[in-house]
Amino acid sequence: MTQKSYAAIPGTIIFDSEMARKGYHLNQFCMSLMKEENRARFKADEDAYLAEWAMTPDQRAAVRARDYNRLLSLGGNIYFLAKIFSSDGLSFAQACASMSGMNFDEYQAMMLAGGRAAKSNLIEDR
């Protein structure tokens, strides 16, 4: 396999064909939460609902833990994972705060001040 030019970008997982293959069932599980009846079944018994999908034990555990960085590394795509945190009543900004290890107030303050500076996050600085 060729070297991925984007692999060195810190704090970033690119949802490429390898990740899409790995995360197919995880992401399709997420998609199922678009339907209210599925959300209700998931909330009533998460383990039972997750057992219906051909996901890996790691993926199931990461869903149970709502560990979104882990889910990204296991092939989850953020637009699909959004169906989980939306079901929990969380916004994208709240999820972004948690993925970047900040509390929501700190994250909001950072965004109001112009966002995370690109400079400290570029490859050149590693």
Residues that bind other proteins (CB under 8 A): 5-6, 9-17, 20, 24, 27-28, 30-31, 33-34, 68-69, 72, 77-80, 82-83, 86-87, 92-93, 95-97, 99-101, 107, 110-112, 114-118, 121-123
105 is written with which tokens? Answer: 């107030």
Q: How far is the CB of 60 from other proteins (least distance, A)?
A: 18
Query: Tokens 């959300």, residue?
Result: 39
Residues 74 and 22: beta-carbon distance below 8 Å: yes
Q: Which is nearer to other proteins, 31 or 48 (CB)?
A: 31
Residues 63 and 50: beta-carbon distance below 8 Å: yes
Q: How far is the CB of 89 from other proteins (least distance, A)?
A: 10
Q: Which is nearer to other proteins, 60 or 83 (CB)?
A: 83
- Residue type at 20? A
Q: How far apart are CA 40 and CA 43, in angstroms?
A: 5
